[in-house]
Amino acid sequence: MNVLTSLSPGSQDVQAIDRLWMISIAIFGLIFLFVTGLIVFSLMKYRWREGEPDPKQVAGQHTVEMVWTAIPLGIVTLLFLLTIKTMSIADPTAAPAPDLVITGHQWWWEAFYPKSGVITANEIHLPTGKSLSVRLDAADVLHEFWVAQLARKMTTVPGHPNHIWIEADTAGTYPGSCSEFCGTEHAWMRFTVVAQPPAEFAAWEQAQLQPSAPPTAPQAQQGEQIFMQMSCVNCHDINGTAAKAHVGPDLTHLASRAQIGAGILDNTPENLSRWLRDPQAVKPGVEMPNFEFTEDQVTALTAYLETLR
Ligand code: CUA
């Protein structure tokens, strides 16, 4: 998995934030060096020595006081103006309609593309070189959506949509995480942003719009039956079947995603079985209960879920 870093900008907006950070760090660094330098200099030059009189005592120097007021005022004003400039990124609420709606859930992310109707979870695809306006919602508590390399971070608030822009200059996979404590599994509320050239993104979108094909292998068919009979359908949606609930992640194209459990496991058949056997053992506190499936049921369900490409 890629490392979450805020020091490697992948978009114009984050470059601007990064520049502001670098300038600030340079200024703070110079102040630190200047102040520690003065302290060290004074310690050495004016240290107590046997037989020497006290140095000349001064108080109420107007010039000195004006200088040490003016310099910090100048620095703070400069940082203020640079911050205003960095904040002047266009207002995403001015966009006519969001390109992407992200909803934070305990503990996973839903991604909905209103213009095409695609809905997915924890793996957000973007076309490169295009700023998407994102609407951020929360289903339960406060979360914070953060893809450090591509956009500013923003809190998701139940009942109060927030808006940001997201954009990727180059194709690649960018890690993201929830960055506001939201309960037991806050640390495992991860996601990835997959930035693709526009044609590749369009193909992905088309593939995501396809309903699931009925399974043909007997084991997978049996898995589908179990899925529809058990309470799986009360929480999950699989387009093309009777499963239409939107409490948990949409599973229509589950097998095409790289990870499960919001980043906790790579999406392999072994890991999927492990998850089905006892989700609570993999991700304690997750909303999905342990259904105590038999080993045959786990095998059949895994076979079915693996057909959802
Ligand atoms: Cu969601 Cu922390």
Q: What is the pLDDT of residue 1?
A: 47
By the 8 A CB rule, do 176 and 144 touch?
no
Residue keyed to tokens 């940001």: 164
Is 3.40.50.12660 the CATH number for 12-87?
no
* Phi-psi map region of 117: left, alpha, beta (phi>0 left; psi -120 to 50 alpha): left
Q: What DSSP designation does 213 have?
A: P
Ligand 1 atom nearest 106 alpha carbon: 1
Q: Which residue blocks in the chain are alpha helix, DSSP H? A: 12-45, 62-87, 198-209, 218-229, 269-277, 279-282, 295-305
Which residues, judged by CB distance below 6 Å to any ligand atom, belong to the binding site of ligand 1? 104, 107, 143, 178, 180-182, 186, 189
- With CA atoms as reference, report the closest residue to 252 among 213, 304, 308: 308
What is the rounded distance in angstroms from the CA atom of residue 166 to the CA atom of residue 92?
Answer: 10
Q: Which CATH number fits domain 218-305: 1.10.3660.10, 3.30.70.2190, 2.60.40.420, 2.60.120.260?
A: 2.60.40.420
Q: What is the pLDDT of residue 90?
A: 67
Task: Confirm whether pTM is higher than 0.75.
Answer: yes
Pick the residue whose CA is nearest to atom 1 on ligand 1: 143
Ligand 1 atom nearest 189 alpha carbon: 1
Separation of CA 179 and ligand 1 centre (Å): 6
What is the rounded distance in angstroms from the CA atom of residue 237 to the CA atom of residue 251?
Answer: 6
Question: Is 12-87's fold the same as 218-305's?
Answer: no
Treating both helix axes as pointing N-terminal to C-terminal, what angle do 295-305 and 218-229 enclose, rounded to 10 degrees?
100
Separation of CA 195 and ligand 1 centre (Å): 23
Separation of CA 136 and ligand 1 centre (Å): 13
Separation of CA 43 and ligand 1 centre (Å): 49
Separation of CA 134 and ligand 1 centre (Å): 18
Show pLDDT as tens, one digit a residue, over the chain (309 residues).
Answer: 467 888 889 998 899 999 999 999 999 999 999 999 999 999 998 888 888 888 788 888 899 899 999 999 999 999 999 999 988 776 777 667 899 999 999 999 999 999 999 999 999 999 999 999 999 999 999 999 999 999 999 999 999 999 999 999 999 999 999 999 999 999 999 999 999 999 999 999 999 999 998 999 999 999 999 999 988 999 999 998 988 898 999 999 999 999 999 999 999 999 999 999 999 999 999 999 999 999 999 999 999 999 998
- Token representation of residue 113: 């593309």
Ligand 1 atom nearest 180 alpha carbon: 2
Spell out the residues 6+ positions from residue 294 whose beta carbon is closer than 8 angstroms to its own: none
Q: Where are the domains of the chain?
A: 12-87, 218-305
Treating both helix axes as pointing N-terminal to C-terminal, what angle do 295-305 and 269-277 enclose, rounded to 10 degrees?
130
Separation of CA 184 and ligand 1 centre (Å): 9
